[in-house]
């Protein structure tokens, strides 16, 4: 199977970018609701509907949810790409639909999606509410889990651009976790299935993004939904869509999430999860905070008459303005910054820093400045 061709054929072109709300996906839900497969299963804090899509008649039940954090939309895009495959009438689609029953919540946190926030409307992180179940969105997620009784859970998220695959200098474009089910981080049969599945997905991704797959820390936190579902005996896999170079809209990363979903269901269907692949799983580089969006090296800065050569970094803030995400770069730190990388790096070779303020790169200041008064940077990048 050629995954590139499959993605290009079934990519859902009507949704793109980082800002994705119910307004964007409602036409798609209407389109695929040919026989009552789309249902409203609850409401958010602000009364927005929470939709679920069911497809397939197979014995293996798969539960997937996306945008538990409202500003994490990449996996939602990939989910609709995958739904297009399932509705394609192809031999592969028929095989998947005969093998599996899929329950998908494309946007669990519609209020957070509209506000472009991680939390819901009352600033609760739903991924820390799996025990107390204080929020209507959390209750919906758990109610479906209890009634559907899935064989596998797919917990779909985005991660920030700060994460690298270990110390390799490569971004963690896609990361995974087989959550722990107890404090000792032991491996039982169900967690073993999740570990083996991730190892198999990684085998496929290494063909396309070698060295750019990460593994999350598996410290146990029963308040997290993945840890809870693993504790309750269901193999659960955390997906994290990360950064691919120059892909801040996450359209390339979206493709690799799609590849991961296709690969996962092929592995499950072929029952290729029987071996112990712990070493392969642990050999995936652990996610590490080693990146900034911008790094400026060897810059000459005048501090009260004392000139020093140093480095400084800037980071994008994703700001929702008139229903559009703007990436605005702000200076966040200066110093040696050893063992850190920039997605964009510029070596000033001793060039003198200046700006329209105090001629010093100050924290939380917009990344608009000059080097040697003739190279102008606007919003972090050289202005041509």
Does residue 212 sit in the same domain as residue 312? no
* Cα separation, 16 vs 359, whole angstroms: 39
pLDDT score, position 13: 98
pLDDT score, position 167: 94
Residue ranges making up the domain that contains 326: 291-382
* Cα separation, 162 vs 243, whole angstroms: 9
pLDDT score, position 274: 74
pLDDT score, position 90: 97
Does residue 275 sit in the same domain as residue 250? yes
Report the number of distinct structural domains present in the chain. Answer: 2
Does residue 229 sit in the same domain as residue 345? no
Does residue 137 sit in the same domain as residue 29? yes
**Residue pair 174/209 in contact by the 8 Å Cβ criterion:** yes
CA distance to 45, 52, 147, 200, 284, per residue, from 166 (Å): 38, 36, 39, 20, 9
pLDDT score, position 134: 98
Last residue of a domain, one of 289, 323, 355: 289
Last residue of a domain, one of 241, 270, 289: 289
pLDDT score, position 304: 84
Sign of the dihedral through C-alpha 274, 199, 220, 256 = negative
Q: What are phi and psi of 99, to 5 degrees?
A: -90, -35
Nearest to 156 by CA among 114, 127, 119: 127
**Residue pair 235/194 in contact by the 8 Å Cβ criterion:** yes
pLDDT score, position 1: 85
Radius of gyration of the chain (CA): 22
Does residue 214 sit in the same domain as residue 325? no
Does residue 275 sit in the same domain as residue 310? no
Last residue of a domain, one of 255, 272, 289: 289
Question: The domain that contains 353 carries what CATH number?
Answer: 2.30.40.10
pLDDT along the chain (384 residues), means of 10: 96 98 98 97 98 98 98 98 98 98 98 98 98 98 98 98 97 98 97 97 98 97 98 98 98 98 97 86 98 98 92 98 97 96 98 95 96 97 90
Question: The domain that contains 184 carries what CATH number?
Answer: 3.40.630.10
Does residue 251 sit in the same domain as residue 351? no
Does residue 93 sit in the same domain as residue 228? yes
**Residue pair 193/204 in contact by the 8 Å Cβ criterion:** no
pLDDT score, position 251: 98
Does residue 254 sit in the same domain as residue 378? no
Does residue 161 sit in the same domain as residue 151? yes
Does residue 285 sit in the same domain as residue 299? no
């Amino acid at each position: 199977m050629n995954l590139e061709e499959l993605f290009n054929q079934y990519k859902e072109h009507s949704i793109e970018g980082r800002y994705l709300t119910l307004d964007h996906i409602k036409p798609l839900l209407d389109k695929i609701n040919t026989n009552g497969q789309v249902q409203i299963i609850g409401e958010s804090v602000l009364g927005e509907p929470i939709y679920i899509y069911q497809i397939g008649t197979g014995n293996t039940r798969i539960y997937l949810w996306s945008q538990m954090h409202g500003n994490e939309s990449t996996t939602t895009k990939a989910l609709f790409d995958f739904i297009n495959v399932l509705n394609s009438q192809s031999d592969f689609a028929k095989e998947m639909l005969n093998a599996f029953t899929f329950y998908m919540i494309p946007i669990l946190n519609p209020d957070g999606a509209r506000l472009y926030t991680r939390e819901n409307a009352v600033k609760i992180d739903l991924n820390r509410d799996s025990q107390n179940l204080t929020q209507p969105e959390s209750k919906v997620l758990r109610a479906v889990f209890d009634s559907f009784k899935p064989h596998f859970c797919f917990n779909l998220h985005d991660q920030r651009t700060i994460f690298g695959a270990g110390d390799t200098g490569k971004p963690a474009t896609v990361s995974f976790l087989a959550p722990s089910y107890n404090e000792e981080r032991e491996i039982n049969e169900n967690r073993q299935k999740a570990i083996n599945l991730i190892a198999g997905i990684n085998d496929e991704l290494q063909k396309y993004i070698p060295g750019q797959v990460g593994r999350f820390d598996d410290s146990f936190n029963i308040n997290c939904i993945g840890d809870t579902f693993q504790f309750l005996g269901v193999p659960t896999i955390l997906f994290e869509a990360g950064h691919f170079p120059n892909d801040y809209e996450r359209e390339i990363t979206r493709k690799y999430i799609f590849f991961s979903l296709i690969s996962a269901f092929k592995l499950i269907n072929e029952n290729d999860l029987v071996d112990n692949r712990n070493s392969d799983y642990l050999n995936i580089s652990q996610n590490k905070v080693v990146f900034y969006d911008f790094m400026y090296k060897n810059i000459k800065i005048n501090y009260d008459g004392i000139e020093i050569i140093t480095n400084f970094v800037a980071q994008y803030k994703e700001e929702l303005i008139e229903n559009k995400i703007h990436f605005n770069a702000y200076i966040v730190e200066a110093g040696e910054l050893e063992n850190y990388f920039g997605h964009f790096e510029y070596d000033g070779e001793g060039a003198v820093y200046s700006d329209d303020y105090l001629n010093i790169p100050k924290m939380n200041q917009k990344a608009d400045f000059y080097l040697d008064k003739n190279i102008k940077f606007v919003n972090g990048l050289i202005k041509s």
